[in-house]
Amino acid sequence: MRFSDPTGEVVNGADLTDRERQQLINDWKRKPGYVDVYFDANNNLTINRDARIAIGPDGKYLGSADARANLTDAIETKDVFNLEHANGSDQVAFADNELTQTTTNAQTKETFRTYRVRIDFSDFHHTTGDREAQEANSIGLVVFHEFDHNLYGHLTDSPNGPNNPGPVETNYINPIREQLGLAQGATYTAVPVAGALRNVYRGYVQVRYTLNGREKILRWQDTVVGGVHH
C-alpha cells in the first residue's frame, strides 16, 4: 500500500527545492532503513510500504525501528507539517517550528493544527567539532526533533538541568541515535566555548554528546548559524 495522508494529514515539502527535498529523503532512508521514501507529485511525503526495509548482510533490518515509527507517525498524524527553507536566516539555528493555524471540525469537534517547520539547510555546513557529534546532528534527525515537539503531546526543550538535553531529545531522538550507534545528545543549551579553547573558537558555541562513555562536541559560530538553540 502506498500512502501519504489519506485523510488530509500532510508532511509537505512544496516550499523546498528539489535538492533540499532530496537531502531529507536521503537521511530519511538511511536512518529508518526504508527503501522507498519520496515526495509525491503534490510534494507530500510518502512511504512506499510495498518496498521492503533495507536488510544487512546478517539478514537483520537496517536502520532504527524508532526512526521508522517517527517518520510514519509524522505522516499519519491528523496535523499538518509544512516544510520551509530558511537558509541564511539569523532567526533559525538548524530548524524550528511554529503553530500557524488551528481549525476545528464543526461536526466532530476534532481540532487540527498546522505547523511551519523552517529548516536552515546552510547551517549544517557551518558546524565543526567531533565527527560523531556532527553525524548525530544530521538534518533528518533535526527535523524529526521539530516534528516531535507536537507529535507526542506538546513538548518544550526545557532541560531538567545543565546535563539534560530536554524531553524531546531524551524520549525520542536519543533512542533513535542509540539504535543507530550514534552519539547521544547530552546537553541542549548551546554555551560559549570556554577554557583552553576559548581563544581558538572565539565567538563559537557548543553542545555536548556522548558515545561509549566519551564526550563528543559539536560547535558552530554563533553569528554565522544564528537563531537560538536552547
Query: What does the pLDDT read at residue 184?
Result: 97
Q: How confident is the model at residue 160 (pLDDT cuts 50, 70, 90)?
A: confident
Q: Map grid coordinates 554563533 to a residue.
A: 222
8 vs 202: which has the higher pLDDT: 202
Question: pTM of the prediction?
Answer: 0.92
Q: Is the pLDDT of residue 220 over 80?
A: yes
Burial of 164 (0-12, 13-18, 19+ CB in 10 A): middle
Query: What is the average per-residue pLDDT within 73-86?
Result: 93
Integer angstrom CA distances of residue 87 from 102, 221, 226: 27, 16, 11
Identify whether 62 is part of a domain: yes
Contact yes or no for 45/36 (Cβ under 8 A): no
Mean pLDDT (the chain) is 91
Q: Is the pLDDT of residue 227 over 90?
A: no
Q: How confident is the model at residue 27 (pLDDT cuts 50, 70, 90)?
A: very high
Identify whether 230 is part of a domain: no
CA dihedral 110, 114, 115, 119 (to 10 degrees): 140
**What pLDDT, in 10s, does the model give residues 43-74?**
999 998 777 888 888 888 889 999 999 999 99
For residues 172 and 176, what is the distance between their CA atoms, to the nearest angstrom?
7
For residues 146 and 19, what is the distance between their CA atoms, to the nearest angstrom?
20
Handedness of CA 100, 69, 8, 143 (dihedral sign): positive
Q: Is the pLDDT of residue 107 over 90?
A: no
Residue numbers of the domain that contains 200 = 2-225
Strand partners, 185: 209
Query: What is the average per-residue pLDDT within 26-33?
Result: 95
Closest CA to 114 of 130, 127, 103: 103
First-to-last C-alpha distance (Å) of the chain: 40
Which string of DSSP letters, residue by residue, matches 86-148?
Answer: -TT-SS-SSEEEEEEEEEE-TTT--EEEEEEEEE-GGGGGSEEE-HHHHHHT-HHHHHHHHHH
Identify whether 112 is part of a domain: yes
Query: What does the pLDDT read at residue 230?
Result: 54
Q: Is the pLDDT of residue 7 over 60?
A: no
Contact yes or no for 36/107 (Cβ under 8 A): no
Query: What does the pLDDT read at residue 9?
Result: 58
Please state, as a whole number, how many other Cβ atoms lie within 10 Å of the Cβ of residue 148.
21
Q: Distance from CA of residue 128 to its chain's centroid?
A: 19
Q: Is the pLDDT of residue 1 over 80?
A: no
Query: What does the pLDDT read at residue 117?
Result: 97
